Amino acid sequence: MTTSKPKSHGRKSIRPTLTPTSLMDETPDLVGIWQARVVTLFPDTFPGVLGASLTGKALQEGKWQLHTHDLRAHGVGKHRNVDDTPAGGGAGMVLRADVVGAALAEAQAHARGRWPILYMSPRGRPFDQGMARDLARCDGVTMLCGRFEGVDERVLDEFGVTEVSIGDFVMTGGEIAAQAMLDATVRLLPGVLGNAESAVEESHSNGLLEHPQYTRPATWEGRDIPEVLMSGNHGKIKAWRQEQSESLTQARRPDLWAKRTTK
């Protein structure tokens, strides 16, 4: 059976489907809106913190969309099994390729344009501000949240999945990591931050840590706001902030400073 291309009615993207409407996502796809699709055993953990503050407001306003795909719905047998013992022996369980593959295929049926698939994994490439900026320029992203001892390698190869890590430590699952990555990305989408310059001046945006910040009261517990910040001289303020960023980066993140000085 051939499937026609999605039709666009306003911002909604309509696709022919055999699935009853009541079983589909409550929020329809919006044309041209950045989407995140999360494959997880715990869909109820989303949006989590993403539903609060600026990301939550942007979600409600339709500046981005979030959809979850429940791995358990693709489980095998009457018990909906999603994992099995490792081939070759060993401790723990591994998420099955057929289960994960079906969930990823379901998620990617909605993909368009540049739409990477990321797998939250401690062996992946480190997530950083540069990757967040790149994801924000994509049309969307699918995130696979692992559990147990991980995912059958074959499904990662089949779908060309990129493994990504938020640090050199191990967590019980990828849901928290996925939310952290989405938070860092969504705030860079057009219209999410109230002041676009905030994203330019903050830590890691230019390879440096951010300078110290101060606000009222001018004096607190005997400590004053640095005089230069009260001077009204924007040139001096800019120079002071640059100097502070450089000195902080050298002291606290010599690895970042080394990358900057070797460019």
Per-residue pLDDT tens, the chain, 263 aa: give them.
444 444 434 455 544 444 433 333 456 887 899 999 999 999 999 999 999 999 999 999 999 999 999 999 999 999 999 999 999 999 999 999 999 999 999 999 999 999 999 999 999 999 999 999 999 999 999 999 999 999 999 999 999 999 999 999 999 999 999 999 999 999 999 999 976 555 555 556 688 999 999 999 999 999 999 999 999 999 999 999 999 999 999 999 999 999 888 86
Two tokens, residue 134? 């790149």
Question: Does this chain's domain 30-186 share its CATH topology with 207-261?
Answer: no
Two tokens, residue 37? 């699709």
**Predicted pLDDT of residue 24:** 35
**Predicted pLDDT of residue 257:** 93
pLDDT digits (tens, 9 = 90+) for 59-79: 999 999 999 999 999 999 999
**Predicted pLDDT of residue 125:** 97
**Predicted pLDDT of residue 151:** 97
**Predicted pLDDT of residue 23:** 34
**Predicted pLDDT of residue 158:** 98
Structural class in CATH, domain 207-261? mainly alpha
Residues 6+ apart with CB under 8 A from 44: none
**Predicted pLDDT of residue 260:** 86
Nearest-CA neighbor of 49 among 143, 181, 149, 160? 181
**CA 125 to CA 128: how far, in whole Å?**
9
Residues 6+ apart with CB under 8 A from 127: 164, 165, 166, 180, 181, 184
User: In sequence order, what are the beta bridge partners of 137?
Assistant: none
Alpha carbon separation from 8 to 19, 56, 61, 106 (Å, rounded): 19, 26, 20, 20
Q: Domain ranges in the chain?
A: 30-186, 207-261
**CA 196 to CA 207: how far, in whole Å?**
18
Residues 6+ apart with CB under 8 A from 55: 47, 49, 64, 182, 183, 186, 187, 192
What's the CATH number for 30-186?
3.40.1280.10
Nearest-CA neighbor of 129 among 15, 253, 248, 32? 253
Q: In what order do the strands lie in the sheet with 34-40?
A: 64-70, 34-40, 140-144, 117-126, 162-165
139 touches 112 (CB < 8 A): yes
